[in-house]
A and B are shown apart, each in its own frame.
Chain A
Amino acid sequence: MIFEVFRQERRGQAFAHAGSIVAPDMEFAEAWAREQYGRRQESEALWIVPRDAVTEVHDFPDELNKTYHRVDGYSLKAKLKEARERAGTAAS
Chain B
Amino acid sequence: MSERAQRLLELADDELILGWRDSEWTGVAPSLEEDVAFSSIAQNEIGHARALYELAARDLETTADELAFDRDPSEYRSAPLVELRRMDWAHTIARHWLYETADEIRLESLKASEDAEVAGLAAKMDREEAYHRMHAAMWVGRLRGDERFETAVDDLWPYALGVLPEEQRGELAERIGRPVVDAVERGGHSDELRELWEEMTMVRRSVPGATW
Contact = CB atoms under 8 A, between A and B. Distances in A.
Contacts of B36: 32, 35-36
A21 interface: yes
Nearest to B39: A35
| Interface SS of B by simple majority | helix
B83 interface: no
Interface string A21-40: 11110011001101110010
Given A27-B138, A28-B138, A31-B134, A39 B40 contact: yes
Contact of B34 (A27, A32, A34, A39): A32
Interface residues of B, number: 15
Interface of A: 21-24, 27-28, 31-32, 34-36, 39
11 contacts: A23-B33, A27-B141, A31-B134, A31-B138, A32-B33, A32-B36, A34-B37, A35-B36, A36-B37, A39-B40, A39-B43
Interface of B: 31-34, 36-37, 40-41, 43, 131, 134-135, 138, 141-142
